[in-house]
Structure 1
Amino acid sequence: MQKKLFLFFLTLFFFNSSFAQLSKNQYIKLESALGETSFFNGHLTGFMLYDLDSQLVLYEKNSHQRFIPASTTKLFTLFSSLIVLNDSTQTLRYTTEGKTIKIWGSGDPSWKYKELYQPDFQEFLAPFDQVIFSDANMMSPAFGYGWQWDDYYYNYSAERSSLPIFGNLVQVKKVGNAPRVFPPIFQESVYPTSRTIRELERDFHTNKFYYNPNNFRAREEFIPFIYSPELFVKLASDATGKQWIYQPDSLPTIHKEWRAAPLFPILKEMMLESDNFLAEQLMLMVSDRLFQRLDTERAIEFMLKTYLFDLPDAPQWVDGSGLSRHDLITPRSMVALFEKIYRMMPDQQLFELLPIGGRSGTLENSYQADSPYIFAKTGTMSNNHSLVGLIKGKSGRYYCFAFMNSNYPWKASEVRREMEKVMVMVREMV
C-alpha cells in the first residue's frame, strides 16, 4: 500500500510538472522572440505567462519593471467595483421634506448616457415639486491627476461629476454644412469661424463651440462640455420637468440611498469599449459606498491597503481609467490582480466582460483566428501599449498573461502586430 501511494504521488508530481513548465526549446524560442535580437529590444517590454491551475509562472521577462498601463488600469477599477458595489450602482443620497427633495449625487454615470439601463428619475421624483441639488460631497476634481490638458475636447476625456447627465458630453450631427448639437441648450453657443478646423471645437475655457462651414466634417460625434452645477440643474430641469435648484449643503448623517441601475452593463461597456468616463465614475461610486463622499484618491488608497496589499509590487495607481501617465504597474502585479478577478467571478460572466480577439470590443480587429484564443483588456496611450488577460492554448486550457510595452517610437499597430506573433507562438506551446 505504501509503495502504491508513493507511486501515485510521484506520478501526480510529474504530471503537474509537465503541464506547468515549458520545455527547454520552447523557453529558448520565447527568449529569442522577446530578447536582444528581437523587435522588443528597441523599447521596454515586460511579459509574464502564468498557469492558473498549478499557480506557477511559466515564463517571465522584466515582470518586475513598472510600466504605464494605460487602459489596463481598468482591471483595478473592475476589481474594486466587484468588491465594493456588488450588483448595483450608487445613484443618489437624499432627504425629503414635504414636496421638496434634497439630493447628493453618488457618481452613477447612467443618466441619458449611451444605451445603458436608465434610472427612472421621472418616477422617483414624481411626488416632489422641487429638487435641491448639492455637490458638496464631491471631493475629486473634474480631471484626474496627470491627465493631458489638450485632451479636453476629446470624448474620452469627459469631466467627472457627482451626478452626470448625457455623459457630460455634447452630441454633434451634421445638417448641411453646419453642426446640430444635443442637448439643444448648447445650440446657441455654436459659432462659425474662418479658422482652418475640420470639426466642431470647444473653447478651452468656456462652453462656446466653433466650426468652419467650408471644412466641417462632424467625425467627432461627441465633445465634452465644461461641467458646472448651475449648468447641470438647467439640464436636469429640462430632462425631468421639475424645478432643480443648486444649494451646496453638506450631506446630513441621516439620509436615504437610491441604487437605481444594475452594475454589470456598466462594467461590460467599460471593459469592452474601454470607456474612460464609466471607469472614472465607477471609482467615484466606490468611494461613495465606502465613505459617503466622492474621493477617487481615498478609494484607491483603501483598496491598495486592504484587498490589494498582497500584490507582488505596490502599484502606483492614481485614476480609474488609466488616462494618467502617473499610473505605473508591473506585469506580475497585473497577473496577480487578474488572478483575483478570475477566482472571484463565474467564468461565463468574466468572458462577457473581456474583449475577445477577432470578435468583440477593442480586440475585434486583432488576434483573429478561427477559434478565439485571446480574451484580454487592452491599454493604449502614445508610446505605450499593454494587453492583460487570458490566452487559450492548443490544449484547450487557459493561461493568464501580461504583455506590457513602454517608450517605443513606433505606431501602436506595429507593436500589436509583433505582439500577435509572440502570442500565436505561446498558443502553440501550451
Structure 2
Amino acid sequence: MRLKALFFLAWLITSLPTAAQLSRAQFSSLENILGEKSSFSGHMTGFILYDLDSQKVVYEKNSQLNFIPASTTKLFTLFAAVAILQDSTQTLRYVASGDTLKIWGAGDPSWKYQDFFQPDFEKVWKNYQVIQYSDANQVSPAFGYGWQWDDYYYDYSAERSPLPIYGNLLEVKKVGNRPEVFPSRFQKSISTTTLPIKELERDLHTNDFKYSPTTFLGRERFIPLLTSGQLTAELAQELTGKTWIYKKESLPENNQAFRGAPVFPLLQEMMLESDNFIAEQMLWMVSDHLFQTLDTERAIEYIQKTYFFDLPDQPKWVDGSGLSRHNLFTPRSMVVLIDKLYRIVPEDQLYALLPTGGKTGTLKNTFQAAQPYIFAKSGSMSNHYSLAGLVRTKSGKTYAFAFMNSNFLGRPSAIRAEVEKVMALVREVL
C-alpha cells in the first residue's frame, strides 16, 4: 500500500503543471523594453503575461498596482452578461390590467438602435390598445458615478434608461448650412445663435438645441437626448400607434418577463466598437434579471461576491463602460478575469468578441501582422491607456496579458505605439 501511495504521489507531482519560465534572453528582452531607460519610465506602467496552459505568470511588472482601466472595464461587463443573461436580453416586465397593459423596461438597448434585431413587441401588447409605462424600477440615475458632466452632449455618453429608443440619441444631418434631426419632433426645438459654435449643441437641462448658421459643420452625427419616462412614452406612442400613458407605479411581484433579442450581437458591438451605451444597459439588464430593479451598484456587488471573490485584488468597479475615473483594476486581476472568460466562453465566440489586431473593431488599424496575434480590449482616456486580452506567439502558444498605463503626458496614441512594440516582441521571443 505504501508503494502504491508513493507511485501515486510521484504521478501526481509529475502531472501537475510546471511553472512557466523565461530564458535569460527572453527575460532580458522584456526588461530592456519595459525598464528604466524605456519609454515607460516616465509614468506608471503595469504589465503581466500569463500562461493559460500552465496557469502560471510568465512575466510581470507592477502588476499589483491599481490603474484606471477606461474601456477595458467592458471585459468585466462582458463576463457579467455572459454569466447572467446567457443568450438573450431582458427587455420588458409586464402585467395586464383589464384593457391596459402595464410595462416596465428592463434595460434592453435594442429598440430602433442601429441595425440590431428588433424585439417582437407585438407578442406582448398586440391585444392591448393602451399601454401604461413606468420607470419606477430604475434605481441608478441616467449618468454613471464619476462620469464627466461636460460629456453630456457627446454620443459616447448617452444616458441610461429602462426602455431606450433610438439609443437615446438624436440623429443630425447637415442640409445646406442647417441641421435636420431625427426624430423630427425635435426640429421645432432648434434655434440659432450668434455664438461661433461648430456643431448642433444641446442645452444642459432641456432638449433644446442651438446652432450657428455661419459656423455649423455638422460633423457630430448623434447627440444624446435628455431622457425621461414621459419622453419614452411619447416616442413609443409615435412608433406603435397605440396610446401610451406614463405613470410611475411600482413593479408588482407577480409580473411576467419578456426576453426579446439575442444578446450576442449587442455584446459584439459593445466589445468591437467599445459602445458605452450598450455596456451600461448590459449591467441594467443583469440587475433586472437578478433583482427586478435597474441598479448598477447592486449588480456589480453581486457579480463581485459571486464570481470575482477569488481575484488577487478586489477591483473598484463602478460602471459598465469605463467612462468613470473611479474604476480601479490591477493588471493581475485583469488576467484572472481573462482566464475566466477563456474558460467559460466558447473559443470561436471569444475571438469574435475581442477586437483583432489589424482586422476588427478598435484594433483594426493597429497591431497589424500577416497573421493576427492580438485579440484584446483597449481602453483610453486622457492620460490613461490600457490593453488586455490574448496574445498568440510565433511558437503557437496563447497567453493572457494586461498592459496598463496611467498618468502620462501627451496623447494615448503615443503610448499605444510603444505598447505595440512590446507586444510585437512578445510575439517574436515567446
Q: TM-score, normalised by structure 1?
A: 0.96
Paired with 2:94 and 2:368, the residues of 1 have a C-alpha distance of: 49
Instruction: Select between 314-323 and 94-103 the one with higher mean Cα deviation.
Output: 94-103
Question: What amino acid does structure 2 have at the position aligned with 1:284?
Answer: W
Question: What amino acid does structure 1 have at the position aligned with 2:249?
Answer: D
TM-superposition CA deviations, 1:300-352 (whole Å, max 9, x none): 01111111100000100000000000000000000001110110011100001
Q: Which residue of 2 aligns with 1:253?
A: 253
Deviation at 1:124, TM superposition (A): 3.2
Q: Which residue of 2 aligns with 1:74?
A: 74
Q: Which residue of 2 aligns with 1:404?
A: 404
* Matched pairs, number: 425
Q: Which residue of 2 aligns with 1:34?
A: 34
Q: Which residue of 2 aligns with 1:201?
A: 201
- Identify unmatched segments of 5+ residues in structure 2: none
TM-superposition CA deviations, 1:48-68 (whole Å, max 9, x none): 000000101000000000000
Paired with 1:197 and 1:357, the residues of 2 have a C-alpha distance of: 37
Q: Which residue of 2 aligns with 1:130?
A: 130
Paired with 2:297 and 2:123, the residues of 1 have a C-alpha distance of: 34
Query: Considering only aligned residues, what root-mean-square deviation do their CA atoms show, in Å?
Result: 1.8
Counting only pairs closer than 5 Å after superposition, residues 220-231 of structure 1 correspond to structure 2 as 220-231=220-231
Q: Which residue of 2 aligns with 1:239?
A: 239
* Pair 425,12 (structure 1): closer, same or farther in 2 beyond 3 Å: farther
Deviation at 1:125, TM superposition (A): 2.0
Paired with 2:13 and 2:333, the residues of 1 have a C-alpha distance of: 32
DSSP 3-state at the match of 2:41: helix
Q: Which residue of 1 aligns with 2:297?
A: 297
Paired with 2:127 and 2:16, the residues of 1 have a C-alpha distance of: 70
Question: What amino acid does structure 2 have at the position aligned with 1:102?
Answer: K
Q: TM-score, normalised by structure 2?
A: 0.96
Paired with 1:140 and 1:348, the residues of 2 have a C-alpha distance of: 34
Aligned-pair identity in percent equals 61
Q: Is the 8 A contact 1:279 1:321 kept in 2?
A: yes
Paired with 1:12 and 1:212, the residues of 2 have a C-alpha distance of: 74
Q: Which residue of 1 aligns with 2:317?
A: 317
Deviation at 1:188, TM superposition (A): 0.5
Q: Is the 8 A contact 2:17 2:54 kept in 1?
A: no
Counting only pairs closer than 5 Å after superposition, residues 206-225 of structure 1 correspond to structure 2 as 206-225=206-225
* Pair 10,169 (structure 1): closer, same or farther in 2 beyond 3 Å: closer
Instruction: Select between 27-36 and 384-393 the one with higher mean Cα deviation.
Output: 27-36
Is 1:369 the counterpart of 2:361? The answer is no
Q: Which residue of 1 aligns with 2:113?
A: 113
Paired with 1:395 and 1:413, the residues of 2 have a C-alpha distance of: 29
Q: Is the 8 A contact 1:154 1:222 kept in 2?
A: yes
Paired with 1:124 and 1:93, the residues of 2 have a C-alpha distance of: 10
Question: What amino acid does structure 1 have at the position aligned with 2:288?
Answer: D
DSSP 3-state at the match of 2:355: coil
- Identify unmatched segments of 5+ residues in structure 1: none
Deviation at 1:12, TM superposition (A): 6.4
Q: Is the 8 A contact 1:121 1:240 kept in 2?
A: no
Deviation at 1:289, TM superposition (A): 0.5
* Pair 21,95 (structure 1): closer, same or farther in 2 beyond 3 Å: same
Question: What amino acid does structure 2 have at the position aligned with 1:220?
Answer: E
